[in-house]
Structures are given as structure tokens and as C-alpha cells.
Amino acid sequence: MANFLFFGNYNRPGPGVSKDEPQKPPYIRYFQLMGRKFGKLIQLNLLFFVPFLVVMAVCIFLMFGMLTHYQLQLPMGQYSLQLDVWTLYVVPFPLIFLSPFIAGLTYVTRNFAREDHAFVFSDYKDAIKDNWKAFLLNGIFLYVAYMVLSFSMLYYYYQMAFNWFFMIPLAFCFLAIVVLLFCQYYVPIMIVTFDLPLRKIYRNALILSIAGLWRNLLLTAIYGLFLFVCYQALANLLTSLVLLLLMALFIFSFLSYTDCFVVYSLIDRLLIQPYYTKKKEIEAEQNNGEEQDSPDKEKEESEYVYVNGRMVKRSQLEEESIFEDSKHS
């Protein structure tokens, strides 16, 4: 790994770093990489902040610009629960359209985390163009999950006052939220790395969310601390302005970079490296002349090939170059 300090001219030629140099601990590499890419992280954050600002403006308009907020009354024994459906489900709806822009944010910070080169603007733009459908579909899925789980938890929570049995489905809803949250630490990175359907992305993300439990807890603590600081910062105008400035310059790219740095090594170890190992075994068998002419040998080859950092289907690769990284580099 590169051995740079936080400041300095990192484009200046130098002797480089020996590949035999011992790898530094992850927490040191994390800060070294962030220091080297700090300027580009600010550029990336500014790019993402533009659509974020537009979406938030729409949400604020829906919240305060509409005179009528629709209410829903749920019977709770001899009482009723009144929900502001407009605030709970209509106001957050525009956040779905922010999802495609997360593709660009994730792609660039993933490259930073694995020490690959990235052109901030062009890679950000191309990643959105190539992955917007998958990210939009993921955004829709998350919104529907939010509607179902939030409504269910509110209902079960208030029903517990009349019947303790509702504690069981409430616990299941809470568990589903935790699992879904953990999966989201992996889903965006996997979308920009693998050419897989979203259902397979989620299946692998579920496995990784279990295998990387400590990573999930670490990221949850970081995001929780961030939300707590944001909540405290809204207490007065000055701290709110400071928070807005930090959001414009750094916060989104920092969180995305942190996520990518923490989880990418696990993705590489459990998904990418096993592919390389299997590929080498197949090539070794072929070089030894074992069943070289057998038609079944070709069928045993992996359906996916790893090219320039992304898994793509072998059949599609033969027809055209669909690997997005090659277009971004």
C-alpha cells in the first residue's frame, strides 16, 4: 500500500513503494488514503450535493408547501391511532430519485478505497449512466420496505398495550430492519462491481451481512454518531449552517468512502478471490491436458468472468464490452 502523509504534492514523481513492503494496519491506510484523496472527495461531494439539494427542496415543499396533510385513523380497541400519512410516506417519496446518483458516489469512493485511479467527474457521470436502473430499483424497494415496516411497527407497538402477543411480530419487524440496514452496506458496492441481477446482489449481501457482523456494527455506530451530531446541530442557526457547509463539502463522500473501505476487503475475500482461485484451478487442469477436447469442459467454466474489477457474463463479454470500469478509466 502507498505510504503518503496527509498533505503534499502527491503527483510529484518519486521512488514509489516496494511491493514487498509490509502492509500497514487498516486504520492507518484508511486515514492515509483519505488524506491523499481529500481534494477529490470534496469534488465528489459537491457533485452529489447538487441532486441532494434538489431532492431535499422537493421534500421541504411537500412538507410545508401543501396545506392539506392526509391523516389515517387506525382503531386501537376503544381508542384510535391517527397517523400523518402525508408526512410519513409522501414527503420522503422524492428520496427515491436520489438513488441513481449514489451509483456515481459509490463507484468513485470504491476506487479510492481499493487504491484504483478515478476521474471524479467522468467516472461519477458514467457510473450513474450505467447503473441508474439498478440503483433506482433498489431505491423503490427500500421505500416500499420502509412503508411496510414502519406502518407495521407503529401498529404492533400500540397494539401491545392490549395484547402482549404483538411483541413477537414487532420483534420480527425490528430484525428485518436491522438485516436490511446491514445489507445496504454491501448492495451499492456490489451493484457497481458485479454484473448480477438485484435479487442475487441481495442474496450475496445477506450472506456478507452475517459474515461481516463486526464491520456492520462499526458502520452502524458511525452512521448513528453522524445522525446524533446532525440532530444536535439543528438546535441553533449557527451549528445548522456549519452542518450544511459540511454536508456540501465532505460528509456524503466521507460516509461512502468509509463504507467502501470497511466492506470491500470482505467482498474481495469472499467473492472475488474465490473466483480467481477456481479460475486458476481450471486453467491448471487445461494446461495439464485433462479433458482438453471434452465439450463438457467448457460448460464447467464459470458463467461470469472478472474483468478490470467487475464480474460480467462470459457470453455478453464475447459480444461486446459491457464492463463499466473500462469505460471509466
Q: What region, left, alpha or beta, does residue 77 occupy, with left being phi > 0 and alpha being psi -120 to 50 degrees?
A: left
CA distances 28 to 24, 51, 176, 311, Å, are 6, 33, 34, 29
Alpha-carbon span 18 to 252, nearest angstrom: 33
Interval 75-91 mean pLDDT: 81
Alpha-carbon span 198 to 141, nearest angstrom: 10
Selected residue with higher pLDDT from 295 and 72: 72
Asked if the structure places residue 321 within a domain, the reply is no
Total number of domains in the chain: 1
To the nearest whole percent, how much of the chain has pLDDT over 70?
80
Alpha-carbon span 153 to 171, nearest angstrom: 9
Is residue 325 predicted with pLDDT exceeding 50? no
Asked if the structure places residue 100 within a domain, the reply is yes
Is residue 318 predicted with pLDDT exceeding 70? no
Confidence of residue 261 (pLDDT cuts 50, 70, 90): very high
Selected residue with higher pLDDT from 287 and 316: 287
Asked if the structure places residue 23 within a domain, the reply is no
Asked if the structure places residue 294 within a domain, the reply is no
pLDDT at 306: 57
Task: Identify residue 4 by its one-letter amino acid code.
Answer: F
Asked if the structure places residue 297 within a domain, the reply is no
Query: What residue numbers bound the domain in which 64 lies?
Result: 38-272
Is residue 17 predicted with pLDDT exceeding 70? no
User: Would you say how long the chain is, in residues?
Assistant: 329
Cross-strand pairs, 72? 83
Asked if the structure places residue 116 within a domain, the reply is yes
- Cα–Cα nearest to 136, from 95, 83, 195: 95
Asked if the structure places residue 150 within a domain, the reply is yes
Is residue 324 predicted with pLDDT exceeding 60? no
What is the reported pTM? 0.80
Asked if the structure places residue 305 within a domain, the reply is no
Is the Cβ–Cβ distance between 175 and 189 less than 8 Å? no
pLDDT at 327: 41
Confidence of residue 66 (pLDDT cuts 50, 70, 90): confident
Is the Cβ–Cβ distance between 137 and 198 less than 8 Å? yes
Task: Please enumerate in sequence order all residues whose Cβ is within 8 A of that of 44, keeping only pairs 6 or more positions apart, or say none.
Answer: 104, 105, 108, 109, 120, 124, 253
Place of cell 442557526: 237
Task: Please enumerate in sequence order all residues whose Cβ is within 8 A of that of 273, keeping only pairs 6 or more positions apart, or say none.
Answer: none
Interval 269-274 mean pLDDT: 89
Is the Cβ–Cβ distance between 38 and 5 less than 8 Å? no
Q: DSSP letter string over 282-316? A: HHHHHHTTTTTT-HHHHHHS-SEEEETTEEEEHHH
Quick: pLDDT tens for 127-147.
Answer: 999 999 999 999 999 999 999
Place of cell 431532492: 55
Q: Which H or E run includes 81?
A: strand 79-84
